[in-house]
């Protein structure tokens, strides 16, 4: 657990050289916004919240005009988060996604693979962090996914949604929330991830399901969700490794 401070950049750079299974970053609105802006030294004397950046970033994803206007006259990041809460705009998710981009850029692609879960806490108008369930979308398709779904269903910190293609007469019976049918291409899957608040995808479809594989990659890039491969036809190694994944709690 990295409690936000001046050493955030140092810790992230250290992890680049010494990978860990999971890094959880927690901080108040101001610190998280500065990390989302791309800053690594978050001390108040060496970096400040860029409200123009906030306005531009929120405008690009369709934030309410009233929120953009209030942000232009804000003095603190918390004021913006309070306004976003009143207007029902998911600013916490947006800032978390942007902060993740900074972390990924600092770690480098070679260090992303060991990361197995993300835990996101949003600062609400009450002044305290409110945790939301860690949400996984399990793209099912192999018989081995039943075991994985069963394991995930026992973790109260994870909300697992299994997605079936809906093309088989006798689909898998799983122990988690299940949906059936396609998403409507990359745009449809991206929209589903955003609306459902999916933090990551476990791709456990068959190797020949090339379209959903590529769509998952594109949707994860668009939403900053992580993606894990799920099936090795010969050994099943990837799936077995995920069965032992660490809980976000």
Q: Which residue has 């398709």 as its token pair?
A: 141
DSSP 207-245: TT-HHHHHHHHHHHHHHT-EEEE---TTT-HHHHHHHTP
Q: Which residue has 């988690």 as its token pair?
A: 176
Asked if 70 and 83 count as a contact pair (C-beta separation under 8 A), the reply is yes
Kindly list the domain boundaries of the chain, sorted by start residue: 2-125, 134-243
For 134-243, CATH number? 3.40.50.720
pLDDT in tens, 197-209: 888 888 887 766 6
Burial profile 155-190: b = 16 or more Cβ within 10 angstroms, e = fewer:
beebbbbbbbbeeeeeeeebebebeeeebeebeebb
Alpha carbon distance 101, 222 (integer Å): 11
Q: What is the pTM of this model?
A: 0.47
Q: What is the mean pLDDT of residues 210-225?
A: 80
Higher pLDDT, 92 or 8: 92
Alpha carbon distance 154, 61 (integer Å): 35
Q: CB-based burial of residue 90 (10 Å sphere; 0-12 exposed, 13-18 middle, 19+ buried)?
A: middle
pLDDT in tens, 90-101: 888 888 888 888
Q: How far apart are the first and last CA of the chain?
A: 11
pLDDT in tens, 97-154: 888 888 888 887 544 433 333 333 333 334 444 445 678 898 887 667 777 888 778 7
């Amino acid at each position: 657990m990295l409690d936000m401070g001046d050493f955030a950049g140092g810790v992230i750079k250290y992890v680049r050289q010494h990978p860990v299974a999971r890094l959880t970053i927690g901080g108040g609105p101001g610190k998280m916004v500065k990390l989302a802006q791309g800053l690594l030294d978050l001390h108040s004397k060496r970096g400040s919240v860029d409200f123009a950046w906030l306005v531009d970033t929120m405008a690009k994803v369709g934030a309410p005009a009233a929120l953009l206007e209030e942000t232009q006259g804000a003095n603190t990041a918390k004021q913006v988060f309070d306004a976003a809460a009143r207007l029902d705009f998911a600013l916490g998710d947006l800032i978390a996604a942007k902060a993740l981009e900074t972390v990924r850029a600092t770690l480098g692609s070679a260090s992303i693979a060991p990361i197995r879960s993300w835990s996101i806490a949003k600062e609400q108008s009450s002044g305290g962090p409110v945790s939301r369930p860690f949400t996984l979308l399990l793209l099912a398709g192999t018989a081995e996914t039943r075991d994985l779904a069963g394991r995930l269903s026992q973790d109260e910190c994870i909300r697992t949604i299994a997605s079936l293609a809906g093309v088989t007469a006798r689909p898998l019976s799983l122990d988690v929330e299940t949906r059936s049918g396609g998403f409507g291409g990359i745009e449809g899957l991206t929209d589903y991830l955003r609306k459902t608040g999916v933090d990551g995808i476990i791709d456990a479809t068959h190797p020949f399901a090339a379209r959903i594989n590529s769509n998952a990659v594109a949707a994860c890039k668009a939403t900053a969700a992580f993606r894990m491969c799920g099936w090795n036809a010969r050994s099943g190694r990837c799936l077995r490794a995920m069965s032992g994944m660490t809980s976000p709690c």
